[in-house]
Structure 1
């Protein structure tokens, strides 16, 4: 799945925000663009000239985030779109409103998510982490795909996590974790699903001869609002010890996503993450994901199940 320039060791190190090309004339939709890594991603794109849509559950927070971005980058075009990924009805409404407002979308950043939540379900009855992190983005991407295909050189960037490696598997007989639920296992499964989706989407786009590409990214260890659902002891350990020692700032955590989204040399099917030894910090570069994430049979089955569960079928 990694491109030849990566396998040959020709990747250029040290990529920073200063390497982001001019984004003028491009329209970018960033889910969860009001907080954390999403807000840093959205701000960087807006500062480089893109029209940025913050697709967020709380539009008041979205409006405040847009104000912060435009205060730093006067003249930036930042808009807010309501989107609740835990509701397929909301996803469909948001997609229709985005399609009405934009004849083309150059960049879709599937960034929003929940992490380590107590067991609960989406509005449609899916386990919350799988339903929000994977199914919501699967549906949104499919409903916006024609707008992406209309934009030459467009990209879909799906944000995963190193947690996808931690014992994650897709148990198709227990997708909703009605048995054996643990916060970390459900999160790991959802992040593995993100990668399986990103890679299968790229395969389909390439087979269809489309100019749109699918790229994945992960931020390493970074303090964001994702830890809000952690039990208190875990939140203290994560935000107070783990991230300061092994992780990096949200600004640096957003760099893999930004590189996947804007680097002219990025190839479809690549996975960007921090380049440090631990994979938790460092400048962004192409990395390999787990062997399970490249399993074509699982990719195909997850795709079919996702179409069935969401009612969203992708054009071929």
Structure 2
């Protein structure tokens, strides 16, 4: 499936990054060394295998400094590639190209890294029925782009912010006075399209939550044995089975065992807070 973000969401990030890099005087190196009006052709090439995300960041970075730039993607966001693969070929004013180079590479490498790590998690749970989801542990200002990259890697997006779903965490429960009380208050306040999720840290809290029929229960830092017990209890509940989400300390080494317990979703903060940028380089032609 081809994945695209509207330019309207990407442009502010690209322009902020360019402004940060250009500073008060622009690229004084390119201005000093490159004759005005020179053209440059180059390819963005992968140094390592991975999954593509952020190709539009390249186009918008170049277009911001040279509206006449031409960008020809060789692949689409969500495509896998091998080391050495050409991701995109571009031509632009040489000064503009060199000034936009680092911003384009930073964003492309970062987003490819997120997509590539996500794909590794998705492949690790293949056949179990569990889905890999991100969290709000994103880089400030890059959430829409990083969540897009997760989707490119085959993951699914958790809530985008505090305003699109109710997620009752342990501190909410502590202040509110209990799991049941928190869910009842949430249901009284929620609109008919707003889903309610609650985090529980033990089987007793799970039983209390099930009685209130939340849409989703997050099983926080449950071991594999407790996850299996939680799945069994939820399946046998007379109140119906909510979506069960496992969360907390998930790694590539443990995610398969977690998925095999029968949970529906596994949320992984590492997809965005710990993904290494993929090595992508710019090669002049």
TM-score band by shorter chain is under 0.3
Higher relative contact order (CA 8 A, sep 6+): 2
* TM norm structure 2: 0.26
* TM norm structure 1: 0.24
Higher strand share goes to which structure?
2
